[in-house]
């Protein structure tokens, strides 16, 4: 009985400490924090062309990049097919000649 009471007291002591910590955290979280100043509100629509220069994204590099990619991709593919075709046709001609030579022999 005496042992049980001591154990209960110890448990309630630990519980009390934990409660104090939780309440302490809660109180400190509720304290008002210094807020950064909000950006100046705009009360009207700002066209993209009237944005300050640091906020504008230039369109020309994107447009040139897109068109250049299309041209390079198409030209590169055409070259690749041309090269593969030349290789196969050379091989076909070589084999044709070899078969013709074998038939004559």
Partner 1 sequence: MPKWFMPLAGVNAVMFAAAPFIIARADYEATMGLVQKIFYYHMPSASMFLLSAVICGIASARFLFGGSPRQDRLAHAAAELAVLFGAITLVTGPLWARKAWGVWWAWDVRLTSSLMGWMVAWAYLLVRKYGGPGSDKLAAGLALFGMANVPFVYISVNYWRTIHPKTSVVPTLPADMGTALWFSFVCFLLLFTLLLRLRVHLEEQRARLDALYLSLDE
How is residue 79 annotated by DSSP?
A: H
Minimum distance from residue 77 beta carbon to partner 1 (Å)? 5
Minimum distance from residue 105 beta carbon to partner 1 (Å)? 14
Q: Tell me which residues touch partner 1 (CB under 8 A).
A: 48-49, 57, 59-60, 62-63, 65-67, 69-70, 73-74, 77-78, 81, 84-85, 88-89, 91-92, 95-96, 98-99
Comparing CB distances to partner 1, the nearer of 18 and 85 is 85
Distance (Å) of CA 32 to CA 29, 37, 78? 8, 14, 66
From the CA atom positions of the chain, what is the Rg in Å?
Answer: 41
Minimum distance from residue 41 beta carbon to partner 1 (Å)? 20
Distance (Å) of CA 82 to CA 60, 73, 75, 94, 102? 33, 14, 10, 18, 30
């Amino acid at each position: 009985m005496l042992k049980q009471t001591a154990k209960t007291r110890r448990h309630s002591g630990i519980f009390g400490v934990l409660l104090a910590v939780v309440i302490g955290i809660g109180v400190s979280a509720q304290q008002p924090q210094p807020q950064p100043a909000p950006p100046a509100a705009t009360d009207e629509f700002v066209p993209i062309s009237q944005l300050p220069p640091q906020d504008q994204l230039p369109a020309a590099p994107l447009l040139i990049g897109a068109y250049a990619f299309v041209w390079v991709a198409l030209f590169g593919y055409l070259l690749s097919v041309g090269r593969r075709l030349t290789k196969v046709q050379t091989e076909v001609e070589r084999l044709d000649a070899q078969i013709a030579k074998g038939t004559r022999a």
